[in-house]
Amino acid sequence: MTYIDIHCHLDLLENISQVIENANNSGVEIILTQGINAETNRKALALAKEYKEVKACLGIYPIDALKMTDKEIDSEIAFIKANKKYIVAIGEVGMDFKEDDIDHERQKKIFTKFIALSIELDMPIIIHSRKAEKECIELLEKCNAMKVIMHCFCGKWKLVERIQKNGWFLTVPTSVTKSEQFQAIAQEVPLAQLFCETDSPYLHPDKIWPNEPANIVRSYLELARLRKISVEDGREIIRNNYLKLFKK
């Protein structure tokens, strides 16, 4: 049994070959790297083609999407469709209402396009929902999305319960070592609805920079400690979750 990092940004790390070697030495078998715009989508594809451990997820981050025209977004969606055989999920996409002057309605319109894309391609969708947790859930429900991973979810516990009820997945990031929110998710959410992630280069378990996929082991260790199970059992359950949700 080996480890899976369900969400990171390899394009933001230096010396990728060393990062991959470190991951291999830590027993990491699968690394999902996320695209957030046209440039990083292409980097994700290139990395997935170069390294057998790396799987590409393509999407447009909500803040990046607001900088694009509708025509540019539609063009990138066409690009994703054209490369569907090389990717495993749509992500990182969603909504972000952190800033007061952000256009909420346009974000909803764009997010709806990516939900529809994930359904059309029958692929999981990996969701960014900062300060827009309830709105993201409502839109996903409205669109009847089924294969959903809520990345680094920070919403209220009632929303966590709603995610569980919908049969979606939540993640346990490496910052679980410090975060009570993520510790609660790791402890209370059914194991059959959990993945582990690093969000590299962010969310280092010791609050240093940069994080990297090799540190995913820390998420598994903390999950095992909180659930009072063996690390091996945790790895097996999460691997089964991956095989259930992903086609490749």
When the pLDDT of each residue in the chain is averaged and rounded to a whole number, the result is 97
CATH number corresponding to 3-245: 3.20.20.140
Sheet-wide strand order for 28-34:
3-8, 28-34, 54-58, 87-94, 125-128, 148-150, 169-173, 194-197
pLDDT tens digits for 82-105?
999 999 999 999 999 998 778 999
Pairing of strands 125-128, 148-150: parallel
Angle CA(188)–CA(6)–CA(15) in degrees, nearest 5?
135
> Is residue 1 very low, low, confident or very high in pLDDT (cuts 50, 70, 90)?
low
One-letter amino acid identity for 183? Q
pLDDT given for residue 91 in this prediction = 97
Placement of tokens 């369900």 in the chain: 6
Give the whole-angstrom CA distance, residue 46 versus residue 23.
18
> Do residues 128 and 62 make contact, with C-beta atoms less than 8 angstroms apart?
yes
